[in-house]
Amino acid sequence: MGEMPYAVARAAIEKYAAELDASGKRILQEVIPSTMGEPLLYSHFDELLELCRTLGIPLNLTTNGTFPGKWGNEAGMATLLHACSDIKVSHLASEQFDGWKANVEKLLNVRNSISDETLVKSTPNKKNAKIATISLQVTLHRKNLKTVPELITWASSIGVDRIKWNPVVFLSVAPQELREMFEIDESLLEPLRKELKTGVFSALNVKYDGSLFFENATDHCAVGGKRGSCPFADEVWVWPDGHEDHCPNPEKRYVNKKTVCYFV
Protein backbone atom coordinates (compact mmCIF):
# COMPACT_ATOMS: atom_id res chain seq x y z
CA MET A 1 0.00 0.00 0.00
CA GLY A 2 3.03 2.27 0.23
CA GLU A 3 3.93 4.79 2.87
CA MET A 4 1.42 7.38 4.02
CA PRO A 5 2.35 10.86 2.76
CA TYR A 6 3.01 13.05 5.79
CA ALA A 7 0.46 15.62 4.55
CA VAL A 8 -2.26 12.95 4.91
CA ALA A 9 -1.24 12.11 8.48
CA ARG A 10 -0.98 15.76 9.43
CA ALA A 11 -4.35 16.70 7.92
CA ALA A 12 -6.13 13.84 9.74
CA ILE A 13 -4.55 14.64 13.11
CA GLU A 14 -5.22 18.36 12.82
CA LYS A 15 -8.81 17.74 11.73
CA TYR A 16 -9.62 15.52 14.71
CA ALA A 17 -7.53 17.54 17.17
CA ALA A 18 -9.82 20.50 16.47
CA GLU A 19 -13.00 18.61 17.45
CA LEU A 20 -14.36 19.24 20.95
CA ASP A 21 -17.15 17.56 22.88
CA ALA A 22 -20.09 19.42 24.48
CA SER A 23 -17.99 20.27 27.55
CA GLY A 24 -15.22 21.74 25.40
CA LYS A 25 -12.90 18.75 25.89
CA ARG A 26 -10.85 17.55 22.94
CA ILE A 27 -12.24 14.34 21.49
CA LEU A 28 -8.95 13.02 20.09
CA GLN A 29 -7.25 11.06 22.88
CA GLU A 30 -4.23 9.57 21.15
CA VAL A 31 -2.64 8.76 17.82
CA ILE A 32 -1.83 5.14 17.00
CA PRO A 33 0.86 5.21 14.33
CA SER A 34 0.15 2.28 12.03
CA THR A 35 -0.46 -1.36 12.59
CA MET A 36 0.52 -2.15 8.99
CA GLY A 37 4.30 -2.25 9.35
CA GLU A 38 6.98 -1.04 11.74
CA PRO A 39 6.06 2.56 12.69
CA LEU A 40 9.64 3.47 13.68
CA LEU A 41 10.63 2.99 10.03
CA TYR A 42 8.15 5.67 8.89
CA SER A 43 10.32 8.27 7.16
CA HIS A 44 8.30 11.13 8.73
CA PHE A 45 8.24 9.75 12.25
CA ASP A 46 10.15 12.75 13.66
CA GLU A 47 7.63 15.17 12.17
CA LEU A 48 4.76 13.06 13.47
CA LEU A 49 6.23 13.12 16.99
CA GLU A 50 6.75 16.87 16.83
CA LEU A 51 3.20 17.51 15.61
CA CYS A 52 1.74 15.37 18.42
CA ARG A 53 4.04 16.98 20.98
CA THR A 54 2.96 20.48 19.90
CA LEU A 55 -0.70 19.52 20.05
CA GLY A 56 -0.25 17.70 23.38
CA ILE A 57 -1.56 14.38 22.01
CA PRO A 58 0.23 11.19 23.10
CA LEU A 59 1.06 8.40 20.69
CA ASN A 60 0.17 4.81 21.45
CA LEU A 61 3.00 2.91 19.82
CA THR A 62 3.20 -0.75 18.88
CA THR A 63 6.67 -1.70 17.70
CA ASN A 64 8.41 -4.95 16.82
CA GLY A 65 11.20 -4.09 19.29
CA THR A 66 14.01 -3.69 16.75
CA PHE A 67 14.24 0.06 17.53
CA PRO A 68 15.97 0.90 14.24
CA GLY A 69 18.50 3.72 13.85
CA LYS A 70 18.48 6.41 16.52
CA TRP A 71 15.45 4.87 18.25
CA GLY A 72 17.78 2.20 19.63
CA ASN A 73 19.96 4.60 21.58
CA GLU A 74 19.09 5.94 25.02
CA ALA A 75 18.18 9.43 23.81
CA GLY A 76 15.88 8.03 21.12
CA MET A 77 14.15 5.72 23.59
CA ALA A 78 13.73 8.60 26.04
CA THR A 79 12.08 10.67 23.29
CA LEU A 80 9.61 7.84 22.64
CA LEU A 81 8.90 7.39 26.35
CA HIS A 82 8.05 11.10 26.67
CA ALA A 83 5.86 11.11 23.56
CA CYS A 84 3.81 7.95 24.13
CA SER A 85 1.08 6.89 26.54
CA ASP A 86 2.02 3.24 26.05
CA ILE A 87 4.79 1.44 24.15
CA LYS A 88 3.72 -2.07 23.22
CA VAL A 89 6.55 -4.30 22.09
CA SER A 90 5.35 -7.17 19.96
CA HIS A 91 6.79 -10.51 21.02
CA LEU A 92 6.57 -11.95 17.50
CA ALA A 93 9.88 -10.36 16.46
CA SER A 94 11.70 -12.13 19.32
CA GLU A 95 11.42 -15.29 17.25
CA GLN A 96 13.54 -13.74 14.46
CA PHE A 97 15.71 -11.17 16.17
CA ASP A 98 18.30 -11.92 18.88
CA GLY A 99 18.46 -8.43 20.36
CA TRP A 100 14.75 -8.28 21.21
CA LYS A 101 15.03 -9.03 24.93
CA ALA A 102 18.01 -6.72 25.35
CA ASN A 103 16.07 -3.90 23.68
CA VAL A 104 13.07 -4.32 25.99
CA GLU A 105 15.40 -4.31 29.00
CA LYS A 106 17.13 -1.20 27.70
CA LEU A 107 13.79 0.58 27.24
CA LEU A 108 12.84 -0.25 30.84
CA ASN A 109 16.24 0.97 32.09
CA VAL A 110 15.88 4.25 30.20
CA ARG A 111 12.41 4.73 31.68
CA ASN A 112 13.72 4.07 35.19
CA SER A 113 16.45 6.65 34.68
CA ILE A 114 14.07 9.50 33.78
CA SER A 115 13.56 11.69 36.82
CA ASP A 116 10.30 13.49 37.60
CA GLU A 117 12.09 16.79 37.07
CA THR A 118 13.22 15.89 33.51
CA LEU A 119 9.74 14.65 32.77
CA VAL A 120 8.06 17.92 33.77
CA LYS A 121 10.64 19.98 31.85
CA SER A 122 10.06 18.06 28.64
CA THR A 123 6.25 18.35 28.68
CA PRO A 124 4.69 21.45 27.10
CA ASN A 125 1.66 21.24 29.41
CA LYS A 126 3.39 20.54 32.73
CA LYS A 127 0.23 19.15 34.34
CA ASN A 128 0.15 16.32 31.80
CA ALA A 129 3.72 15.20 32.46
CA LYS A 130 3.58 11.42 32.09
CA ILE A 131 5.91 8.69 30.99
CA ALA A 132 4.81 5.78 28.79
CA THR A 133 3.76 2.49 30.27
CA ILE A 134 5.58 -0.47 28.71
CA SER A 135 3.66 -3.51 27.54
CA LEU A 136 4.35 -6.71 25.68
CA GLN A 137 1.97 -7.90 22.99
CA VAL A 138 2.13 -11.66 22.68
CA THR A 139 0.51 -13.61 19.88
CA LEU A 140 0.00 -17.02 21.45
CA HIS A 141 0.47 -19.95 19.11
CA ARG A 142 1.13 -23.64 19.43
CA LYS A 143 4.91 -23.24 19.19
CA ASN A 144 5.39 -20.54 21.83
CA LEU A 145 2.87 -21.72 24.43
CA LYS A 146 5.48 -23.63 26.44
CA THR A 147 7.67 -20.51 26.77
CA VAL A 148 4.92 -18.50 28.51
CA PRO A 149 6.05 -19.12 32.15
CA GLU A 150 9.61 -18.05 31.33
CA LEU A 151 8.36 -14.96 29.49
CA ILE A 152 6.16 -13.86 32.39
CA THR A 153 8.90 -14.39 34.97
CA TRP A 154 11.31 -12.31 32.92
CA ALA A 155 8.78 -9.55 32.17
CA SER A 156 7.84 -9.23 35.82
CA SER A 157 11.47 -9.15 36.95
CA ILE A 158 12.34 -6.22 34.69
CA GLY A 159 9.18 -4.18 35.44
CA VAL A 160 6.97 -4.60 32.35
CA ASP A 161 3.57 -3.07 33.20
CA ARG A 162 1.26 -5.24 31.14
CA ILE A 163 1.15 -8.27 28.85
CA LYS A 164 -1.50 -8.38 26.17
CA TRP A 165 -2.23 -12.00 25.23
CA ASN A 166 -3.85 -12.57 21.86
CA PRO A 167 -4.32 -16.15 20.65
CA VAL A 168 -3.37 -16.43 16.98
CA VAL A 169 -6.16 -15.62 14.51
CA PHE A 170 -6.33 -17.01 10.96
CA LEU A 171 -7.91 -15.48 7.91
CA SER A 172 -10.46 -17.86 6.38
CA VAL A 173 -8.09 -18.27 3.39
CA ALA A 174 -5.09 -19.38 5.50
CA PRO A 175 -3.54 -22.67 4.30
CA GLN A 176 -4.33 -25.74 6.36
CA GLU A 177 -0.63 -26.47 7.03
CA LEU A 178 -0.27 -23.07 8.69
CA ARG A 179 -3.20 -23.84 10.95
CA GLU A 180 -1.74 -27.23 11.82
CA MET A 181 1.55 -25.63 12.77
CA PHE A 182 0.25 -22.73 14.88
CA GLU A 183 -3.42 -23.07 15.85
CA ILE A 184 -4.19 -23.53 19.55
CA ASP A 185 -7.42 -25.01 20.76
CA GLU A 186 -9.42 -23.97 23.78
CA SER A 187 -8.27 -26.97 25.85
CA LEU A 188 -4.76 -25.47 25.91
CA LEU A 189 -5.87 -21.89 26.48
CA GLU A 190 -8.19 -22.49 29.43
CA PRO A 191 -5.44 -23.68 31.87
CA LEU A 192 -3.34 -20.64 30.94
CA ARG A 193 -6.27 -18.27 31.49
CA LYS A 194 -6.84 -19.81 34.94
CA GLU A 195 -3.17 -19.63 35.84
CA LEU A 196 -3.00 -15.94 34.89
CA LYS A 197 -6.20 -15.05 36.75
CA THR A 198 -5.84 -17.09 39.92
CA GLY A 199 -2.56 -19.05 39.86
CA VAL A 200 0.97 -18.14 40.83
CA PHE A 201 1.30 -15.62 37.98
CA SER A 202 -1.71 -13.63 39.18
CA ALA A 203 0.30 -12.42 42.17
CA LEU A 204 2.97 -10.77 40.04
CA ASN A 205 3.07 -7.07 39.41
CA VAL A 206 2.08 -7.37 35.73
CA LYS A 207 -1.37 -6.65 34.34
CA TYR A 208 -2.81 -9.15 31.84
CA ASP A 209 -5.36 -8.46 29.15
CA GLY A 210 -6.01 -9.17 25.48
CA SER A 211 -8.35 -11.41 23.53
CA LEU A 212 -7.33 -14.48 25.59
CA PHE A 213 -9.81 -13.23 28.18
CA PHE A 214 -12.82 -12.79 25.91
CA GLU A 215 -15.54 -14.81 27.57
CA ASN A 216 -17.12 -16.39 24.56
CA ALA A 217 -14.81 -16.27 21.57
CA THR A 218 -17.51 -17.40 19.14
CA ASP A 219 -19.48 -14.30 20.01
CA HIS A 220 -16.76 -11.98 18.75
CA CYS A 221 -15.26 -10.93 15.46
CA ALA A 222 -11.57 -11.73 14.86
CA VAL A 223 -10.36 -8.60 16.65
CA GLY A 224 -12.72 -8.74 19.61
CA GLY A 225 -15.73 -6.76 18.42
CA LYS A 226 -18.98 -7.82 20.02
CA ARG A 227 -22.57 -7.09 19.10
CA GLY A 228 -23.39 -3.69 20.52
CA SER A 229 -19.89 -3.09 21.84
CA CYS A 230 -17.27 -2.84 19.13
CA PRO A 231 -14.04 -1.84 20.93
CA PHE A 232 -13.06 0.17 17.86
CA ALA A 233 -16.25 2.23 17.60
CA ASP A 234 -14.43 5.36 18.80
CA GLU A 235 -11.42 4.86 16.55
CA VAL A 236 -10.83 6.24 13.06
CA TRP A 237 -8.44 4.37 10.79
CA VAL A 238 -6.82 6.63 8.21
CA TRP A 239 -5.33 4.91 5.17
CA PRO A 240 -2.31 6.05 3.10
CA ASP A 241 -4.65 7.52 0.46
CA GLY A 242 -6.53 9.46 3.16
CA HIS A 243 -9.77 7.48 3.22
CA GLU A 244 -11.12 6.54 6.62
CA ASP A 245 -12.90 3.55 8.12
CA HIS A 246 -13.79 2.26 11.56
CA CYS A 247 -13.26 -1.46 11.30
CA PRO A 248 -9.84 -3.13 11.72
CA ASN A 249 -11.11 -6.70 11.29
CA PRO A 250 -8.62 -8.17 8.75
CA GLU A 251 -11.13 -10.74 7.52
CA LYS A 252 -13.46 -7.90 6.54
CA ARG A 253 -10.67 -5.77 5.08
CA TYR A 254 -8.75 -8.31 3.06
CA VAL A 255 -10.91 -11.35 2.43
CA ASN A 256 -14.61 -10.69 2.46
CA LYS A 257 -16.02 -7.20 2.80
CA LYS A 258 -19.39 -8.75 3.63
CA THR A 259 -18.04 -10.51 6.73
CA VAL A 260 -20.59 -10.24 9.52
CA CYS A 261 -19.99 -7.22 11.68
CA TYR A 262 -21.02 -7.72 15.29
CA PHE A 263 -21.16 -3.98 15.80
CA VAL A 264 -24.31 -3.36 13.77
Which residues form the interface with ligand SF4 (CB under 6 A)?
A: 221, 223, 225, 230, 232, 247-249, 252, 261-263
> For residues 111 and 220, which CB has a smaller minimum distance to ligand SF4 in the complex?
220
Residue 228 Cβ vs ligand SF4, minimum distance, rounded to whole Å:
9
Residue 235 Cβ vs ligand SF4, minimum distance, rounded to whole Å:
9
Residue 249 Cβ vs ligand SF4, minimum distance, rounded to whole Å:
4
Task: Look at phi and psi of residue 158 and say left if phi exceeds 0, alpha if psi is from -120 to 50, else beta.
Answer: alpha
Is 91 within 8 Å of 139 (Cβ atoms)? Answer: yes
Under DSSP, the state recorded for 75 is: H
Q: Which residue's Cβ lies closest to ligand SF4?
A: 225
> For residues 6 and 263, which CB has a smaller minimum distance to ligand SF4 in the complex?
263
Residue 42 Cβ vs ligand SF4, minimum distance, rounded to whole Å:
24
Q: Which residues pair with 228 in a beta bridge?
A: none
CA angle 245, 250, 256 (to 5 degrees): 90
Residues belonging to the chain: 264
> For residues 33 and 248, which CB has a smaller minimum distance to ligand SF4 in the complex?
248
d(CA 33, CA 219): 29
Q: Which residues pair with 87 in a beta bridge?
A: 61, 134
Is 13 within 8 Å of 22 (Cβ atoms)? Answer: no
> For residues 97 and 213, which CB has a smaller minimum distance to ligand SF4 in the complex?
213
